[in-house]
Amino acid sequence: MRVPTPNDPAHDLARWIPRLLAVWREGRRGSRGGRRPPPDALLPDELREVGAAVARLSRGLTRERELAGARYLDEERLLGAYLLFYWPVSYLQARGTISELPRRPRAVLDLGSGPGPMAFAALDAGAAEALAADRSARALSAARALARAAGEPLGAREWNPARRTPLEALAPGRRFDLVTMGHVVNELWKGQDEDARRADLLEEALRLLAPGGSLLVVEPALRDTSRALLRVRDLLVARGHAVRAPCLFRGPCPALLRESDWCHAERPIDPPPLVTQLGKAAGLRKEAVKMSYLVVAAPGEGWAAPPAGRVFRIVSEPLPSKGRLRYMGCGPEGRMGLALQEKHVTDANRRFESLLRGDVIEVTGVEPRGDGIALGEASSVKVVAPAGRPVPAGPPGTPAPTTAGE
In the complex, the smallest distance separating the C-beta of residue 5 from ligand SAM, rounded to whole angstroms, is 25
CB of 135 or CB of 264, closer to ligand SAM: 135
Residue 67, phi-psi category: left (phi > 0), alpha (psi -120 to 50), beta (remainder): alpha
User: How many Å apart are CA 208 and CA 214, to the nearest integer?
Assistant: 10
Of positions 183, 227, 233, 313, contacts ligand SAM by CB under 6 A: 183
CB of 134 or CB of 359, closer to ligand SAM: 134
Judge whether 218 and 180 are in contact, CB under 8 Å: yes
Of positions 12, 124, 134, 177, contacts ligand SAM by CB under 6 A: 134
| Binding residues for ligand SAM, total number by CB under 6 A | 22
Which of these segments, 135-143, 228-236, 298-306, 339-347, binds ligand SAM (CB under 6 A)?
135-143
Judge whether 142 and 27 are in contact, CB under 8 Å: yes
Q: Please state whether beta strands 324-331 and 319-321 pair in parallel, antiparallel, or not at all (unpaired).
A: antiparallel
User: How many Å apart are CA 400 and CA 347, to the nearest integer?
Assistant: 30
Of positions 17, 88, 96, 113, contacts ligand SAM by CB under 6 A: 113
User: For residue 163, how many other CB atoms are within 10 A of its CB?
Assistant: 8
Binding of residue 188 to ligand SAM (CB under 6 A): yes
CB of 78 or CB of 404, closer to ligand SAM: 78
CB of 110 or CB of 177, closer to ligand SAM: 110
Of positions 17, 98, 127, 139, contacts ligand SAM by CB under 6 A: 139
Of positions 7, 160, 402, 403, contacts ligand SAM by CB under 6 A: 160
Binding of residue 165 to ligand SAM (CB under 6 A): no
In the region spanning residues 298 to 327, those forming contacts with ligand SAM, defined by CB under 6 A, are none
* Listed residue (36, 117, 44, 29) closest to 77, CA to CA: 29
CB of 91 or CB of 303, closer to ligand SAM: 91
CB of 11 or CB of 71, closer to ligand SAM: 71
* Listed residue (300, 299, 279) closest to 288, CA to CA: 279
Residue 181, phi-psi category: left (phi > 0), alpha (psi -120 to 50), beta (remainder): beta
For ligand SAM, the nearest residue by Cβ is 182
Coil, strand, or helix at residue 234?
Answer: helix
Binding of residue 114 to ligand SAM (CB under 6 A): yes
Of positions 16, 24, 85, 86, contacts ligand SAM by CB under 6 A: 86
User: How many Å apart are CA 338 and CA 358, to the nearest integer?
Assistant: 14
Binding of residue 204 to ligand SAM (CB under 6 A): no
CB of 186 or CB of 277, closer to ligand SAM: 186
Of positions 9, 101, 124, 136, contacts ligand SAM by CB under 6 A: 136
The 37-76 contact track toward ligand SAM, x by CB under 6 A, reads --------------------------------x---x---
Residue 116, phi-psi category: left (phi > 0), alpha (psi -120 to 50), beta (remainder): left
* Listed residue (237, 238, 132, 224) closest to 176, CA to CA: 132
Task: Report DSSP letters for 266-287, one per residue.
Answer: EE--PPPHHHHHHHHHTT---S
Phi, psi of 166, rounded to the nearest 5 degrees = -60, 140
Q: For residue 309, give the amino acid letter.
A: G
Which of these segments, 121-129, 156-164, 244-252, 291-299, binds ligand SAM (CB under 6 A)?
156-164
Angle between helix 223-238 and helix 194-206 axes, rounded to 10 deg: 60
Judge whether 243 and 252 are in contact, CB under 8 Å: no
The widest CA-to-CA distance across the chain, in whole angstroms, is 70
CB of 165 or CB of 402, closer to ligand SAM: 165
In the complex, the smallest distance separating the C-beta of residue 333 from ligand SAM, rounded to whole angstroms, is 33
In the complex, the smallest distance separating the C-beta of residue 138 from ligand SAM, rounded to whole angstroms, is 9
User: How many Å apart are CA 354 and CA 3, to the nearest integer?
Assistant: 21
Binding of residue 97 to ligand SAM (CB under 6 A): no
In the complex, the smallest distance separating the C-beta of residue 152 from ligand SAM, rounded to whole angstroms, is 16
In the complex, the smallest distance separating the C-beta of residue 306 from ligand SAM, rounded to whole angstroms, is 29
In the complex, the smallest distance separating the C-beta of residue 41 from ligand SAM, rounded to whole angstroms, is 22
DSSP H or E segment with residue 50: helix 44-62
User: How many Å apart are CA 89 and CA 374, to the nearest integer?
Assistant: 36
Binding residues for ligand SAM (CB under 6 A): 69, 73, 86, 90, 112-114, 117-118, 134-136, 139, 159-162, 182-184, 187-188
